[in-house]
């Protein structure tokens, strides 16, 4: 990992640009982290940056439990004894990260899935917080942003900086991967609508550059989801099994699979199919030991 650096945004809010952005809110010499990066090395570098500033780490607030957002938790908690705060449905995955690999695979995961990309080191959630409202013991506010994962939140600071977690993905990631991970499409689309109403001086997404306006990126994210909904609905007219749908999707979007990509893309397509069924756009039936997806 490249050497991480600290960027001051306002008097009290900082962030650490990295593949997964990390936020810091400072009050006196007390610091609260918003997520902790992707792995132990990120945690080690964050610890160095905090020490260089003379800040004491009070708490890590995890926006959600994906490995790239909690990867530094274990190192930082072991070094500092800091609290870790997360919402009710994200907390079990932080304490038992093996659950993420099992969830996206849909069974006991094979060894290649037990990697830092899916399975972080476990840390202790000391504070189970609500997905909306003030976060006890801090000056921060939780804002519910479900869809990407079970009970993901954004974080609003008192100086009007909004950390978006993974509610929006940057355009370059969408162009490269097309299918970004989604758990609940209905909630994700509602979150995109909600983001249009949330005002802040500056927005910091979980991945990508700082934003002063969300309008364009919201529309890019929304249009890609709509495109994939339409593609899968059309593909189902061919009466395909899930594996055939997966193959059609990978060919259409030039997706190269490895063990991690396979489970993430497969899980996301299943979420799309659940949305399509719930909205009467596709249906399924069983024949000759196969589940067949077809049009409505």
Express each pLDDT in 126-178 by its tens digit: 999 999 999 999 999 999 999 999 999 999 999 999 999 999 999 999 999 99
Same domain? For 240 and 127 the reply is no
CATH of the domain at 242: 1.10.10
Task: Convert the pLDDT of each residue in 37-65 to its tens digit.
Answer: 999 999 999 999 999 999 999 999 999 99
- Indicate the helix (H) or strand (E) that contains 268: helix 259-278
pLDDT band at 32 (very low <50, low <70, confident <90, very high): very high
Domain termination site, one of 201, 225, 249:
225
Token code pair at residue 230: 């339409």
Domain termination site, one of 195, 225, 255:
225
Q: How far is Cα 234 from Cα 223, in angstroms, rounded to an integer? A: 16
Same domain? For 188 and 256 the reply is no
**86 phi and psi, to 5 degrees?**
-160, 160
Tell me if 275 is assigned to some domain. Answer: yes
Same domain? For 199 and 277 the reply is no
Tell me if 110 is assigned to some domain. Answer: yes
pLDDT band at 13 (very low <50, low <70, confident <90, very high): very high
pLDDT band at 92 (very low <50, low <70, confident <90, very high): very high
Q: How far is Cα 136 from Cα 133, in angstroms, rounded to an integer? A: 9
The pLDDT assigned to 228 comes to 98
Tell me the three state secondary structure of residue 55.
coil
Which residues have C-beta within 8 Å of that of residue 65, sequence separation ≥ 6? 86, 90, 91, 92, 93, 94, 97, 100, 149, 150
The pLDDT assigned to 200 comes to 97
The pLDDT assigned to 41 comes to 96
- Indicate the helix (H) or strand (E) that contains 27: strand 22-27
Contacts by 271-277, CB closer than 8 A, 24 or more apart: 271/182, 271/183, 271/184, 271/185, 272/182, 272/185, 272/228, 272/229, 272/232, 273/232, 273/242, 273/245, 274/185, 275/185, 275/186, 275/229, 276/229, 276/232, 276/233, 276/236
Tell me if 2 is assigned to some domain. Answer: no
Supply the mean pLDDT for the chain.
Answer: 97
**143 phi and psi, to 5 degrees?**
-125, 120
The pLDDT assigned to 2 comes to 82
pLDDT band at 111 (very low <50, low <70, confident <90, very high): very high
194 alpha-carbon distance from chain centroid = 17
Task: Please say whether the beta carbons of 148 and 100 come within 8 A.
Answer: no
DSSP 8-state secondary structure symbol assigned to residue 257: P
Same domain? For 47 and 107 the reply is yes
Q: Strands 22-27 and 30-34: what pairing?
A: antiparallel
* Structural domain boundaries enclosing 258: 228-295
Q: Which candidate, 2, 35, 86, places its Cα nearest to that of 206?
A: 35
Same domain? For 189 and 207 the reply is yes
The alpha carbon torsion through 29, 48, 155, 193 (nearest 10 deg) reads: 150
Task: Please say whether the beta carbons of 25 and 139 come within 8 A.
Answer: yes
Same domain? For 270 and 139 the reply is no
Opening angle at CA 47, ends 13 and 207, nearest 5: 55
Same domain? For 84 and 214 the reply is yes
Tell me the three state secondary structure of residue 15.
strand
Q: How far is Cα 156 from Cα 276, in angstroms, rounded to an integer? A: 33
Same domain? For 134 and 211 the reply is yes
Same domain? For 72 and 121 the reply is yes
Domain termination site, one of 225, 248, 274:
225
Residue 204 has pLDDT above 80, yes or no: yes
The pLDDT assigned to 273 comes to 98
Distances (CA, A) of 65 to 36, 157, 175: 11, 20, 25
Token code pair at residue 161: 């900086």
Task: Convert the pLDDT of each residue in 219-265 to its tens digit.
Answer: 999 999 999 999 999 999 999 999 999 999 999 999 999 999 999 99
Q: How far is Cα 3 from Cα 208, in angstroms, rounded to an integer? A: 17
The pLDDT assigned to 12 comes to 98
pLDDT band at 296 (very low <50, low <70, confident <90, very high): confident
């Amino acid at each position: 990992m490249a050497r991480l650096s600290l960027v001051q945004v306002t008097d009290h809010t900082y962030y650490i640009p990295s593949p997964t952005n990390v936020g810091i809110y400072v009050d006196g010499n007390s610091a609260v982290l918003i997520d902790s990066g992707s792995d132990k090395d990120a945690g080690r570098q964050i610890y160095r940056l905090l020490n260089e500033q003379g800040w004491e780490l009070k708490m890590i607030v995890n926006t959600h439990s994906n490995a790239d957002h909690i990867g530094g938790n274990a190192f930082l908690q072991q070094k500092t004894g800091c609290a870790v705060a997360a919402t009710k449905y994200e907390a079990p995955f932080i304490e038992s990260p093996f659950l993420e690999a099992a969830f996206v695979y849909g069974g006991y995961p094979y060894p290649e899935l037990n990697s830092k990309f899916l399975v972080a080191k476990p840390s202790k959630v000391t504070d189970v917080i609500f997905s909306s409202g003030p976060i006890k013991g801090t000056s921060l506010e939780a804002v519910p942003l479900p869809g990407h994962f079970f009970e993901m939140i954004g974080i609003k600071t008192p100086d009007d900086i909004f950390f978006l977690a993974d509610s929006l993905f940057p355009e370059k990631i969408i162009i490269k991967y097309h299918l970004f991970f989604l758990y609940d499409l209905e909630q994700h689309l509602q979150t995109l609508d909600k983001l249009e109403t949330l005002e802040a001086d500056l927005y910091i997404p979980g991945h990508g550059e700082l934003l002063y306006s969300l309008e364009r990126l919201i529309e890019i994210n929304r249009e890609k989801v709509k495109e994939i909904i339409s593609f899968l609905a059309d593909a189902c007219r061919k009466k395909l099994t899930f594996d055939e749908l997966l193959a059609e999707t990978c060919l259409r979007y030039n997706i190269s699979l490895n063990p991690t990509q396979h489970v993430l893309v497969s899980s996301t397509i299943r979420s799309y199919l659940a949305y399509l069924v719930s909205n009467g756009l596709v249906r399924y039936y069983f024949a000759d030991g196969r589940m067949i997806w077809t049009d409505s």
